[in-house]
Amino acid sequence: MINRYSQVTCLRSLDFAYDTTPPQDIPTKTLLQILQSPVQYQRVNVSVCVVEERENSEEFTKGNTVTPLKKVVYAVSDQTASLLLTVWGTHTFCLKNWYHFSDVSVRNFMGQTTLTTTRDTNIQTIPHAGPSVDPIVDDITTTEGELSMVNIDVQHLCPKRHSLDSVNFSTLMTRCHSCKAFCKTAKLSAVARGTLTIIDEAGTQHSFNLTDKLIRETLSLNPGPLPQPDELAALFLHHDRATVTTKGSRVLSVLVDAPPEAPSSEDAATAMA
Ligand SMILES: [Zn+2]
């Protein structure tokens, strides 16, 4: 019964789209069958050879913003086709061995059909099922060049993830207009995003979008508060060169050359003494 005390929750914010198929009715499909009918969010069982590890990271999921979850992308193949499979959580696979994955979800990412494990996925070792097709080829590109431009924005969020217009970090509290409440300034979070431009050997300019994760990884920044945008930009532009790895339009990693020698804090302390 729905009455005025009922709460309606929007399913779009769920980590995994809701699929009501009971486990016993989930079909076992070959990878080719999945590619021929790549209906997003359908649940399937697959028996595949785990061929290669492609990406390895830790990410926050929508349902869990406290502890990051291990996320590994594998190229998997059967006798019909090859796909990328994202495995969440800690699992160990012997590459080139075969496994049965029950209850995995079909996704479409930038025109590419992929599979991802769900919280209901079960993984079992199975006997080798003969030769599998060659692993899927990634369109991974590496661009190297001189760093020429960077633009960084920093957005501050209240503990309930509302965007705040301006924050004065020397004050105890900040008012969030969405919450209609004051929050402790120390409990605000910061999200950076930006663009980076490099010039390759041929003189061509390449611009890339940077996510918060990439910016923090590249600059070795911890989760939590961030420096001002101009300070972040300066941290990038202290470097001369950058190597950017992309897959389609998505940036996978940014490597910058070693920064010029800066005096360590110990040296600075000695100099001041
Ligand atoms: Zn708020």
Distance 165 CA to ligand 1 centre (A): 11
- Assess if residue 92 is contained within a domain: yes
Tell me, in angstroms, the distance from the centre of ligand 1 to residue 187's CA.
Answer: 11
Terminal Cα-to-Cα distance of the chain (whole angstroms): 73
Boundary (domain end) residue, out of 100, 126, 152: 126
Question: What does the pLDDT look like over 103-150, one tens digit per residue?
Answer: 999 998 767 899 999 999 999 999 998 888 888 887 778 899 999 999
How many A from CA of 159 to the centre of ligand 1? 6
Q: Which of 98, 126, 154 is the last residue of a domain?
A: 126
Residue 273 lies in a domain: no
Over residues 85-95, the pLDDT tens digits come to 999 999 999 99
If asked whether residues 154 and 87 sit together in one domain, one would say: no
Whether residue 3 is contained in a domain is answered as: no
Residue 133 lies in a domain: no
> Residue 173 Cα, ligand 1 centroid: separation in angstroms?
12
Q: In this structure, are 28 and 99 located in the same domain? A: yes
Asked if 257 and 147 sit in the same domain, the reply is yes
Tell me: do 159 and 121 sit in the same domain.
no
Task: Give the number of domains in the chain.
Answer: 2
User: Are 230 and 147 contained in the same domain?
Assistant: yes
Two structure tokens written together for 204? 């061509």
Helix and strand counts by DSSP (H, E) for the chain: 4, 13
Calculate how far, in angstroms, residue 156's C-alpha sits from the geometric centre of ligand 1: 10
Write out the chain's pLDDT in tens, 273 residues.
555 555 554 444 444 455 667 777 899 999 999 999 999 999 999 999 999 998 888 877 766 666 778 999 999 999 999 999 999 999 999 999 999 999 999 998 767 899 999 999 999 999 998 888 888 887 778 899 999 999 999 999 998 888 998 888 889 999 999 999 999 998 898 999 999 999 999 999 999 999 999 999 999 998 878 888 999 999 999 999 999 998 877 888 999 987 555 555 554 444 444
**CA 181 to ligand 1 center in whole angstroms:** 7
183 CA from centroid of ligand 1 (Å): 8
Residues 103 and 19 in one domain: yes
pLDDT at 18: 55
CA of 184 to the centre of ligand 1 (A): 11
Are 179 and 219 members of one domain?
yes
In a domain, 136, yes or no: no
In this structure, are 22 and 122 located in the same domain? yes
Query: Which of these three, 126, 158, 187, is where a domain ends?
Result: 126
Residue 10 CA, ligand 1 centroid: distance in Å: 19
Task: Tell whether 187 and 107 lie within a shared domain.
Answer: no
Judge whether 229 and 152 are in contact, CB under 8 Å. yes
User: How far does residue 11's CA lie from ligand 1's centre (Å)?
Assistant: 21
Give the domain extent around 159.
142-262
Nearest to 97, CA basis, from 145, 136, 58, 47? 47
| Dist. CA 177 → ligand 1 center (Å) | 7
Residue 88 lies in a domain: yes
How many Å apart are CA 115 and CA 97, to the nearest integer? 18
Ligand 1 centroid – CA 164 distance (Å): 8
Residue 86 lies in a domain: yes
Contact 104, 47 (CB under 8 A): no
Q: What is residue 66's predicted lDDT score, i.e. its pLDDT? A: 66
User: Do residues 100 and 166 share a domain?
Assistant: no
Instruction: Check whether residue 195 and residue 246 sit in a common domain.
Output: yes
pLDDT at 85: 96
Task: Look at residue 216 and tell me if it is in a domain.
Answer: yes
Q: What is the 3-state secondary structure (H, E, C) of 183-226?
A: EEHHHCEEEEEEEEEEECCCCCEEEEEECHHHHHHHHCCCCCCC
Q: Are residues 94 and 194 in the same domain?
A: no
> In angstroms, what is the span from residue 179 Cα to ligand 1's centroid?
4
Question: What CATH number does residue 103 fall under?
Answer: 2.40.50.140
